[in-house]
Homo-oligomer: A and B are copies of this chain.
Amino acid sequence: MKQVSLARRAARLSPNMPASGHGPTIPFDSGHGFPALFPDLTAAAERALTIYRDETLQYGSRPGLLELREWIAATMSGDGADVAPDEIMVTNGAKQGIELLCRLLLDEGDSIVVTAPTYFTSIPIFRSFDVDFVEVEQDAEGLDTARLETTLRRLKQEGRKPPKFVYNVPDFHNPTGITMSRRRREALLELASRHGMYIVEDSPYRKVRFEGNSEPSLKALDRTKNVFHLGTFSKLMAPGLRIGWIAGQRELLARMMQLKADGGTSPLVQRIIVEWCKAGNLPAHTENVQRTYRLHRDRMVAALRRNLPEASVVVPQGGYYVWVTLPRNIDADELAKLAAEAGVTVLAGSKFYAVQGPGALHSAGPPKNQMRLAYSHSSPEEIDEGIRRLAGALRRCGVSPAGAPIERPVAHSHPTTA
């Protein structure tokens, strides 16, 4: 009867829903954007395809449209990172930036530093370069530089070369939502400089801040030009644009441009973005994005507290995700399967660990009781409904008999170090 009741409730949300079952699946598993937030790009596209037609339909330049790079440089400089247009290269989304950096920097036998957990889409890209992972924990201040220092010292004592770069998402980390403190940022830069490592700062969510003050970006604090900053228009404007960028050293960008053998990133889409931004749309849009996703976050956190009181939730100050630690006896991979059957998709935390077996930071393998929930894509009503479905799945999950209390998680300062 529960299923029918859920379906009925869900039926009020969408008229296109099947008459039986749970209705359309609610996706908490993806970092998709909320459709109602997508900007109106029709005027910008009209200009791009008329006034700028000879530019937008022709081959573009390898580094990317100059006006777009100027706009990015000005925006980054306004954010404290003094970057010139020729220190920027436009890419097909930030993911292409990750891949190009790997192609530029990685040699056989190289290792890189990643947080445990880390952005799960980056893991197969790194793996495709046969890289070794050096995992490092986070706490409430982000990447634990003291532990990283210990690891780097040990590697040195063992006569092993230092990792080639540190990959991190310092603002509203994916998946944990944690923002790195300023002192940790400075410590990381000092470590990178001392050990001859590059830093790859992946920063898609930086402007999606709901509250609190920004810390300076790693790029802004960089004195040694060893930081590559990855930006994107996906999370603030729309993922379908597939436009990102790398800011870094001129000489290294020049080499990456040779590796970027795709005929250039679409000048049409670049021009649409430039025209839309130059028309002054971004500030009000950014405020709307921040306000809307803040509501989504609050709705999801409240629904979790109401429906999954046994879960420990990291409440982020921005970004797209909440990171949830479940009671120890819950296997999030099993929960994800049951949840999908109940009409809500989630990503088990185990997917976010680069090292799965022996050699993992956690000797027993990644924790099994974590999951990432994206509040970005779904409407507030869908968030409520999705969390209800998830709670229903949790009740059917693992060892908990109906009605019996589920074991509470052990208290700890931060779920990611559990």
Q: Which residues of A contact B (CB under 8 A)?
A: 30, 32-33, 35, 38-42, 45-46, 49-50, 53-60, 92-96, 98-99, 103, 121, 124-125, 128, 234, 237-242, 258-259, 261-269
Distance from A271 Cβ to chain B, minimum over Cβ atoms (Å) = 9
Is B261 a contact of A242 with CB atoms below 8 Å? no
A-B contact pairs, 19 of them (CB 8 A): A32-B59, A35-B54, A35-B58, A38-B54, A42-B45, A42-B46, A57-B241, A58-B239, A59-B234, A60-B240, A94-B263, A99-B262, A103-B128, A121-B261, A124-B261, A234-B263, A240-B268, A242-B265, A242-B266
Is B125 a contact of A261 with CB atoms below 8 Å? yes
Closest 9 CB pairs of A and B: A57-B238, A38-B57, A57-B240, A93-B263, A242-B266, A45-B45, A35-B54, A59-B239, A96-B262
Set of chain B residues within 8 Å of A32, measured between Cβ atoms = 58-59
Is B259 a contact of A128 with CB atoms below 8 Å? yes
Is A263 a contact of B241 with CB atoms below 8 Å? no
Set of chain B residues within 8 Å of A41, measured between Cβ atoms = 49, 57
A262 vs B98: C-alpha distance in the bound complex, in angstroms? 9
Is B42 a contact of A50 with CB atoms below 8 Å? yes
Distance from A122 Cβ to chain B, minimum over Cβ atoms (Å) = 9
Is A240 a contact of B267 with CB atoms below 8 Å? yes
Is A239 a contact of B261 with CB atoms below 8 Å? no
Q: Given contacts A42-B49, A49-B42, are A95 and B262 in contact (CB under 8 A)? A: yes
Is B262 a contact of A242 with CB atoms below 8 Å? yes
Q: Count this chain's copies in the assembly.
A: 2
Residue of B nearest to A271 (CB): B240
Is A262 a contact of B46 with CB atoms below 8 Å? no
Among B30, B57, B99, the residue within 8 A (CB) of A59 is B30
Which residue, A40, A92, A234, has most C-beta atoms of chain B within 10 A?
A92
A103 vs B234: C-alpha distance in the bound complex, in angstroms? 26
Set of chain B residues within 8 Å of A238, measured between Cβ atoms = 57-58
Among B33, B35, B54, B92, the residue within 8 A (CB) of A92 is B92
Given A46-B46, A57-B237, A124-B258, 14 more A-B residue pairs with CB atoms under 8 Å apart are: A30-B59, A35-B58, A38-B54, A42-B46, A56-B240, A57-B240, A59-B240, A95-B263, A99-B261, A121-B261, A121-B263, A234-B263, A240-B267, A266-B269
Distance from A346 Cβ to chain B, minimum over Cβ atoms (Å) = 17
A241 vs B48: C-alpha distance in the bound complex, in angstroms? 12
Set of chain B residues within 8 Å of A40, measured between Cβ atoms = 49
Distance from A44 Cβ to chain B, minimum over Cβ atoms (Å) = 9
Distance from A318 Cβ to chain B, minimum over Cβ atoms (Å) = 20
Residue of B nearest to A244 (CB): B263
Distance from A255 Cβ to chain B, minimum over Cβ atoms (Å) = 11
Is A57 a contact of B239 with CB atoms below 8 Å? yes
Residue of B nearest to A269 (CB): B266
A40 vs B45: C-alpha distance in the bound complex, in angstroms? 12
Is A239 a contact of B263 with CB atoms below 8 Å? yes
Set of chain B residues within 8 Å of A35, measured between Cβ atoms = 53-54, 57-58
Set of chain B residues within 8 Å of A45, measured between Cβ atoms = 42, 45-46, 49
Q: Given contacts A35-B58, A59-B30, A92-B92, are A240 and B262 in contact (CB under 8 A)? A: no
Set of chain B residues within 8 Å of A95, measured between Cβ atoms = 261-263
Residue of B nearest to A270 (CB): B240
A269 vs B60: C-alpha distance in the bound complex, in angstroms? 15
Is A58 a contact of B46 with CB atoms below 8 Å? no
A247 vs B59: C-alpha distance in the bound complex, in angstroms? 23
A258 vs B128: C-alpha distance in the bound complex, in angstroms? 10
Distance from A99 Cβ to chain B, minimum over Cβ atoms (Å) = 6
Distance from A230 Cβ to chain B, minimum over Cβ atoms (Å) = 12
Set of chain B residues within 8 Å of A263, measured between Cβ atoms = 92-96, 121, 234, 239, 242
Distance from A157 Cβ to chain B, minimum over Cβ atoms (Å) = 33
Set of chain B residues within 8 Å of A99, measured between Cβ atoms = 261-262
Set of chain B residues within 8 Å of A234, measured between Cβ atoms = 59, 263
A41 vs B38: C-alpha distance in the bound complex, in angstroms? 21
